[in-house]
Chain A
Amino acid sequence: MGPGTTARLAAVSLVVLAGATVWWWSLRGHRNLPAPFEPPSRITEAGLLCPWRDPEADLARFFPAANRRDTRTLILSGRRVELARELGRQPTAEENALQVHRALHDNHPVGTILTRRVKGEHGGIELVLAVTPEGRVRGVKIQRHREPPEVASVLGEAGWLNRFEGRDRRSDWDAAGDCAGLPAGARSSAQAVVEGIRSLLILLAAGETSSPRAHEHHDTL
């Protein structure tokens, strides 16, 4: 290839690059234009994972020593038989994967945060569960719910949520017993919370042993 051809190639490449840059720049401003209405064009088939809505506050509350966190998705589809035995029911489709947020002090894990949406009597209840590296409950928070005020006050009461601290997946989980002192109207939602905590502990334990198949990505605090 002669020097003339090389120069021509370089010139054409530069012009194409410049054109692409101008094109990208001109479109950039249109990205945030509000669509005046939404025709059927944004079908998202992804399942509705429960988001972690206030990570900074939750980390400060449950793991104050943490200065980093990372997020992993544990794939549990290969453990369904074992999970069914431990859960006492067939795992749901959503339980094929578990998003795990590890709280780290530098690179040393100090705990794990899990989130889960459970079925309350009047709507979804979003749980945040803090678990120690040994697999015991550090704390529980209800980050969002749709329960009437009388039920919400019972569920959100620190005394009731604190009773789960220190428990692990092998503890004596008795949802009826945990909800025995609660008003009748709150029991169904409370039992869903208890079952949600227990399920998360079981899923986490199963996922920790499946970690080679997990997909990982990292977020820094």
Chain B
Amino acid sequence: MSLGWLALRNLLRRRLRHGLMVGALAVSVAVLVCLSGFGAGYERALRAELDGMGVQLMLVPLGCPYDAAARVMRGRALDNTLPEQALAEVRNDPAVAVAAPLLTTAALHPDDRRVDLWVGLDESGRALRPWWRVKSGAAWFTGPESVILGSEAAAAELRVPGDQLFCPAANRSLRVSAVLERSGTSDDSLFFVPLLTAQEMFDLPGRLTAIAIRLHDPGQLREATARLQQIAGAQVVTLTEMMGVFLNLVGSVRVLLIAIATLAMVVCALGLFNTMLAGVLDRAEELAVMRALGASRHHLFGLVTIESLLLAAAGIAVGLPLAAGSGHTLEGLIRPYMPLAPLGTFWVLTGGAVGQAVVISLVMGLLSGLYPAWRAGRVQPAPALKGD
């Protein structure tokens, strides 16, 4: 009978004790795999999403750049504005492929406790909104008095193309030219009007709240940023910078989660150590008999080490399917707490995460079994059989 087979038989003799240990190991492995998968998947999803937005730079008025860029991208109004001349300067830059002016204004209706967000944009803005799909109506504004509604805005106002829509803040009636399909973005609740109309409605002639920019070549980001930064009264925010801020934020949460996973692994290692040591002490007489029948110290050391490794391997075998099955559920639990949750799933079962968990668990199994194995190897047949 080989040592491996003997180790397996020994483990099966105490099914409850070892079953519980395998369960604890499996949970630790699953937690470790899930957390690794979250980190990699989140970063990948965030990058893909930012790439898909089509905007690489935002030119915003002076002030807190992140606040300004965040407000513009969420369709919120800014307190400061840019002069329209800045648009011409941006468009003259050789690196700029598309520069889309935006005028975002919050129209307050205190009596109704309502805030309408109006966005003025021109044809170039459509190029930077790849998620736009017209649900009904014309493909674009049909005239200066037309408005395009996000899906939720249209649903709340019960509007379809051709209907009138009154803007109390500007005392102006507009005609709905199109209703957009639901996109899941802040665009769903916005009212879009031609840029000139927005400037007239809110008495901001020749002013913009931001310019969204796409470059011919993203590799020119640094040079273009340096040139655009020279525009008076404006500052440049790159989405790469913004993403860096988010990833740092997520990274700190991730470090904390990994610390907790490590703690769980350490606790499991101590549990495994305890289980193996208790097993060795319980079986002292049996080990003594084996020694008396000719088993060497190395045989007993190897036997207990193999038992420990087998337990770790069983934990991995149960933990990996557990991780695969529970990753998406865990993602659902975590998603509401994420500062920026990307579209779709951001948990992926990567080979790296699996490999890391396997290696860590086996090393943990090996280390936890070393001392009990050493104790097993030092069992003296005569005293043990006498019960000393």
Q: Chain A: residues with CB nearer than 8 A to chain B? A: 1, 4-5, 8-9, 12, 15-16, 19, 22-23, 26-28, 30-31, 33-43, 45, 47-48, 53, 117-124, 143-149
Contact = CB atoms under 8 A, between A and B. Distances in A.
Contacts, number: 128
21 contacts: A1-B16, A8-B275, A22-B260, A23-B256, A27-B334, A30-B339, A34-B70, A35-B339, A37-B70, A37-B73, A38-B74, A39-B53, A39-B343, A40-B183, A40-B185, A41-B342, A47-B155, A53-B113, A120-B158, A123-B157, A144-B114
A132 to B, nearest CB: 28
Given A4-B278, A30-B339, A35-B339, A148 B173 contact: yes
Interface residues of B, number: 59
Given A19-B263, A53-B113, A5 B166 contact: no
Chain B CB within 10 Å — which of A26, A37, A41, A148 has the most? A37
A148 B168 CA distance: 7
B184 A43 contact: yes
Nearest to B336: A31
Chain B CB within 10 Å — which of A16, A41, A45, A120 has the most? A41
Given A19-B264, A117-B158, A40 B70 contact: no
Contacts of B326: none
A40 B114 contact: no
B165 A26 contact: no
A39 B49 contact: yes
Contacts of A143: 112
Interface of B: 16-17, 20, 24, 27, 49-50, 53, 66, 69-70, 73-74, 112-114, 131, 152, 155-159, 164-166, 168, 171, 173, 182-186, 242, 245-246, 249, 253, 256-257, 260, 263-264, 267, 271, 274-275, 278, 334, 336-344
Contact of A40 (B131, B156, B242, B274): B131
Contacts of B168: 146, 148
A209 to B, nearest CB: 28
Contacts of A16: 27, 264, 267
Main secondary structure of the interface of A (DSSP, over half): loop
Nearest to B173: A122
Given A36-B66, A38-B185, A15 B267 contact: yes
A14 to B, nearest CB: 10
A39 B340 contact: yes
Nearest to A147: B166
Chain B CB within 10 Å — which of A8, A39, A43, A45 has the most? A39
B253 A30 contact: yes
Contacts of B274: 8
A30 B184 CA distance: 22
Contact of A9 (B20, B131, B184): B20
A190 to B, nearest CB: 15
Given A12-B267, A123-B165, A35 B340 contact: yes
Nearest to B250: A30
A119 B159 CA distance: 8
A34 B168 CA distance: 29
B340 A36 contact: yes
A12 B242 CA distance: 41
